Chains A and B, each alone.
Chain A
Amino acid sequence: MTWDASLLWQFDLLILPMVIICAIAALSFKDLVSCAVISGAFSFLMCLLWTEMLAVDVAFTEAAVGAGVSTVLLLGTALHVKRKSKD
Chain B
Amino acid sequence: MEDLLAYIISRYNYWAAIILLLIGLYGMIAKNNLLKKVIGMTIFQAAIILFYVSIGDKRGATIPILAHGHDGAHQAVEAAAYANPLPHVLMLTAIVVGVSTLGVALAILQKIYRVHGTIEEDEILETIDQ
Contacts and interface: CB of A to CB of B under 8 A. Distances in A.
A52 B12 CA distance: 15
Interface residues on A, range: 35 or more
A6 B39 contact: no
Given A4-B10, A20-B16, A27-B39, A54 B46 contact: no
B16 A85 contact: no
Nearest to A65: B99
Contact of A74 (B35, B83, B89, B118): B35
A65 to B, nearest CB: 5
A43 to B, nearest CB: 7
A81 B32 contact: no
Contacts of B102: 70, 73-74
Contact of B43 (A13, A26, A58, A87): A26
Contacts of B60: 7
A53 interface: yes
B124 interface: no
Interface of A: 1-7, 12-13, 16, 19-20, 23-24, 26-27, 32, 35-36, 39, 42-43, 46, 49-50, 53-58, 61-62, 65-66, 69-70, 73-74, 76-78, 80-82, 85-87
Given A27-B36, A61-B95, 12 more contacts: A3-B13, A23-B23, A26-B39, A53-B57, A54-B64, A55-B83, A58-B49, A61-B96, A65-B99, A74-B35, A80-B113, A86-B32
16 contacts: A2-B55, A3-B13, A6-B59, A20-B20, A27-B23, A46-B49, A53-B57, A54-B83, A56-B63, A69-B99, A70-B99, A80-B110, A81-B113, A82-B119, A86-B32, A87-B32
